Chains A and B, each alone.
Chain A
Amino acid sequence: MPKITIDNKEIECRAGVPVLQAALEAGWDVPHYCYHPGLSIVASCRLCLMEMMMPNPKTQELSWSPKLVPSCQTPVKDGLICRFGSDTVKHNQRVCMEFFLLNHPLDCPVCDQAGECYLQDYSYKFGNPTSRMVDQKLKNPKKDIGPRTLLYQDRCVMCSRCVRVTDEVSGTFELGIVNRGSRCEIDAFPGKPLDNPLQGNVVDVCPVGAMLDKDFLFKRRVWELRSTSSVCPKCATGCAIHVDHADNKVYRLKPRFNPKVNTWWMCDEGRFGFKYVHDKKRIVKPIVRRGMDHESPDWADVPDIVRFRFSELVKRDGAAKVAAVLSPFLSCEEAWLLCKFIRSLAPTAALVTGLIPYSGEDRKFPIGSNNGTTKFTILKEKCPNRRGIETILKAFGGTTLTFDEFCKKATTGEFSAAWITGGYPEPWVEKETAKIAEKIEFLVVQDIFENELCTGAGMIFPSCGWAEREGSFMNAAGVLQSFERAIAPPDGAKQDGQYLYDIAGYSGLYRATRIRELMSAEVPAMKELYVPPEMPAHAH
């Protein structure tokens, strides 16, 4: 670990990072726009300039460099001495902020970025309160740059981060810079709009309000949003994300730094794939069938009903006639609770890995990259927790089946009681599969939307969207990540973990951390929860 000295304070830093990154991680607030740890270095915003001790070429004596050096471009080296606190450095920061605002429309009241805008923050911290510019401002145009993105060029600071994202992360090269000098504009090539599976990152990396997400545009002021750490459920990559929500509504998803999984990025499929959580057609109440009637029992009565029906059938047909299908959309904790419950009533019950949805092929980015150079992968496996479910089933042992095996057996009437979990955002029950409902005497269906199995189900549980639950997912690479509850389930519903907790015989409030403790005592693989390092807000 190299040691460097910033403003007379010695710090230890990670090897191989620029001085800027080291300073940010050590708590210095160094303004910067063009630097992004996930992108190449262009050193063009000239905001992060610092003074550095350099040996005089003639006398080899150390002295402050006459020239300010970009800290983003200077790698840390043991013994490096630099300073950000000097008047020269501060003057440069003030000057830059004046330049950035010369042609800026100052339309913060109607700007989506206001509140999380680096131009605002830096102007307050490092800029001047007034402007000396009296001439007419240059008005660069507003552009519709792609199906999901708007570009307000007048707010742009020309950091070129967006261009580098399309060059280096997605590998699609849609964006470029046209014109010269202060008329420089970001633009897409004619007839080739910004449209790639990772284009949302362009909006994330924009430090100002130039790149705007049409989906979020004018929906909510960002200071009203609360951010909750979560994990994207859309594919087995399991990107770490922030769920930004207000008034029990999810407004947007943003990637969260996780060096082992998604680094700084996420795909659009995940980013805009949260809408089903707010679908009006969701199941929101538990339903019990009595003869031809359906009724909604009190949540308080549910554990007894379920336990009674299952034990009745176990007594009559034997424990092997019971099965539980664990959907890859369940969190590890929920799956563990369900297995625990089923196996406590029927010790030889079959445990089944739920249907694994696949779509298309794995997509690697930048396009055309191979294993060594891939920065981001969208997997064809469109569920977040197959690995987790499999790990838990392996730990429980006994009869474990795949979904196909289960269906085959169920159609021959091998099961008299089963608990099938769903939670898929898309319809997933095929006609053939639906037939098993007739063969199972007591079928519990736990799903987010009504499906074809529900007509024959003895009991239906509302499943919640992942943003309404807490727990952990294990991604395709075996990284276990926890996600927190962002919003409350709709009226009448309970989060899956809570009723499974009640049914499994525990009392009180379901807390994923508590279950994880219990679970990891039995399933050692569940001990290794990976928590990505916390990055200072402005370090990326």
Chain B
Amino acid sequence: MANFEPILLRNRGVTGSTSLKVYESRGGYRAVRKALKMTPDEVVEEVKKANLRGRGGAGFPAGMKWSFLPKDRTRTLLCVNADESEPPTFCNRVLMETDPHQLIEGTIIAAYATKSQIAYIYMRVEFHEQFHIVQRAIDEAYAAGYLGTKIFGTDYSLECYVHRGAGAYVCGEETGLIESLEGKRGWPRIKPPFPAVEGLFRRPTVVNNVETLSCVPHIIERGAAWFTGIGPPHSTGPKLFCISGPVKKPGCYESPMTISVRDLLEREDMGGGMLPGKRAKAVLPGGASMGIISANEFDMKMDFEDPRKFGLLGLGTAAAVVIDDSIDMRVVLRNMARFYGTESCGQCTQCREGTAWMHKMATRIAMGAGRVEDLDVMLQTARNMGMMPGLSICGLPDGATYPIETIIKKFRGELESAIRAQPAGRAKRVLSVLN
């Protein structure tokens, strides 16, 4: 597997890879021509057969999502979720930076398959340069007749717009994204109705991740059988893995979902091992929301199924953060709690109050004024906020509680001894000042 030929990232490093000319010269826009000769249902069927699971985090099969659209619909809308805001994740960013036309091609095929007339690319506002790259690519595609009315000389028309978000994590949730796209506050919607039935502007809507759509042209071009041949049966196709932290070569790497966390960390063509003098203590393997694994769990496979066996929520975005042994676990705990405390949208009670409370407790613990019972309260709060299956409108509180719970469970010894090592009576003194 060491010499796995990159598929999604095949144009990375190629000069001018963002331009239409270079993309086409390397075989681009062949798949879309092929797809437009098929019927939309055949395209859906092919993607279904490929068992392409959503790369956004939940791993829901994309073909299945498309087939939930009502049969008698008149107008369908496609949203591309480029609001990549999961803390250590940058797969979509790399894809849009290096190969925007691959995304556009995937978008056209998906739009054709779902009979959508408009595609919206919802991009997080912090992607400044990426926005210009994608916008330039869209302009090129329009000029070439690949977007707009009667594309590629067929009767099919597709408009494509890039919409930039306003900086909220929750707008990456599909109904939060839809609300935000409608110009409203990014509050996830109550379901049912599901977006496939009533989504953006009350039309049937499909929301797919950038990486998911980037896979689509390859499935169409090379067939579902080729796609399912990559990786284990439940996690087919190539996947981008991000690694950050004190490793020699942090970055984004492509591989089938057969690698383990240790591979990602140590293989020469990936992380390349830890920096000299550093020792990995823990890894957040799937973005912040999935939870943490300790050093003795590094053999966990990075696929859609294995992480659950290690108490994690799932594969998530497959973006690993390595935490070395110089980092205090109290700080990690606090950092996780802080993120969700500020990013909870404030709609559901459990999430709104629970995340803020955990943030307060974690901050106090990190300040050196924690109490051992705070850890229990945090664990209980995490559970009370509703872990899978959740109690709230969207999955954000699930994502907020998994890191907290796994950190406390797996590193309880370290946390407790740090708390016990505090000067006597410190917690009491700090609390008396606070109240």
Residues of A within 8 A of B (CB): 41-47, 49, 66-68, 70, 73, 91-92, 95-96, 98-100, 102-103, 132-136, 138, 157-158, 176-177, 179-184
Interface: B392 (CB within 8 A): yes
Contacts of B431 in A (CB 8 A): 134-135
* CB contact under 8 A between A180 and B190, given known A92-B391, A132-B377, A135-B434: no
A92 to B392, CA, bound (A): 11
Q: Which residue of A lies closest to B351 (CB)?
A: A181
Consensus secondary structure, chain A interface: loop
Contact of B352 among A92, A98, A135, A184 (CB under 8 A): A184
Consensus secondary structure, chain B interface: helix
A-B residue pairs in contact (CB < 8 Å), sample of 11: A41-B190, A44-B348, A46-B350, A68-B386, A95-B384, A98-B384, A100-B349, A102-B356, A180-B346, A181-B343, A182-B356
A270 to B185, CA, bound (A): 34
* CB contact under 8 A between A42 and B190, given known A99-B349, A158-B352, A184-B352: yes
Contact of B357 among A47, A49, A91, A133 (CB under 8 A): A133
* CB contact under 8 A between A181 and B348, given known A67-B389, A135-B364: no
- 1/0 per residue, CB under 8 A from A, across B412-435: the answer is 000000000000000000010011
A176 to B435, CA, bound (A): 31
- 1/0 per residue, CB under 8 A from A, across B351-376: the answer is 01111110011001000000000000
- Nearest-neighbour CB distance to chain B for A162, whole angstroms, equals 15
Contacts of B168 in A (CB 8 A): 180
Interface: B7 (CB within 8 A): no
Q: Which residue of A lies closest to B354 (CB)?
A: A99
Instruction: Tell whether, in the assembled complex, residue B353 and residue A102 are in contact, meaning their CB atoms are under 8 Å apart.
Output: yes
Contacts of B393 in A (CB 8 A): 43-44
A44 to B392, CA, bound (A): 8
A73 to B168, CA, bound (A): 26
Instruction: Tell whether, in the assembled complex, residue A181 and residue B190 are in contact, meaning their CB atoms are under 8 Å apart.
Output: no
Contacts of B392 in A (CB 8 A): 46
Count of A-B contacts judged by CB separation below 8 Å: 98
Instruction: Tell whether, in the assembled complex, residue B344 and residue A44 are in contact, meaning their CB atoms are under 8 Å apart.
Output: no
Contact of A177 among B185, B341, B355 (CB under 8 A): B185
Q: For the A-B complex with A45-B349, A181-B343 known, give 18 more contacts whose Cβ atoms are closer than 8 Å.
A: A41-B190, A42-B190, A42-B347, A46-B350, A92-B391, A95-B384, A103-B356, A134-B434, A134-B435, A136-B360, A177-B346, A180-B343, A181-B341, A181-B352, A182-B346, A182-B352, A182-B355, A184-B352
A103 to B364, CA, bound (A): 17
> Could you say which of A67, A91, A95, A136 has the most chain B C-beta atoms within 10 Å of its C-beta?
A95
A42 to B364, CA, bound (A): 34
Contact of B348 among A46, A91, A135 (CB under 8 A): A46
* CB contact under 8 A between A181 and B355, given known A41-B190, A42-B190, A100-B349: yes
Contacts of B185 in A (CB 8 A): 176-177
Interface: B342 (CB within 8 A): yes
A103 to B346, CA, bound (A): 14
Instruction: Tell whether, in the assembled complex, residue A46 and residue B346 are in contact, meaning their CB atoms are under 8 Å apart.
Output: no
A261 to B75, CA, bound (A): 40
Instruction: Tell whether, in the assembled complex, residue B349 and residue A44 are in contact, meaning their CB atoms are under 8 Å apart.
Output: yes
Contact of A96 among B349, B377, B435 (CB under 8 A): B349
Interface: B345 (CB within 8 A): yes
Contacts of A42 in B (CB 8 A): 190, 347
Contacts of B345 in A (CB 8 A): 180-181
- Nearest-neighbour CB distance to chain B for A220, whole angstroms, equals 31
Interface: B6 (CB within 8 A): no
- Nearest-neighbour CB distance to chain A for B379, whole angstroms, equals 12
- Nearest-neighbour CB distance to chain A for B169, whole angstroms, equals 9
Contacts of A184 in B (CB 8 A): 346, 352
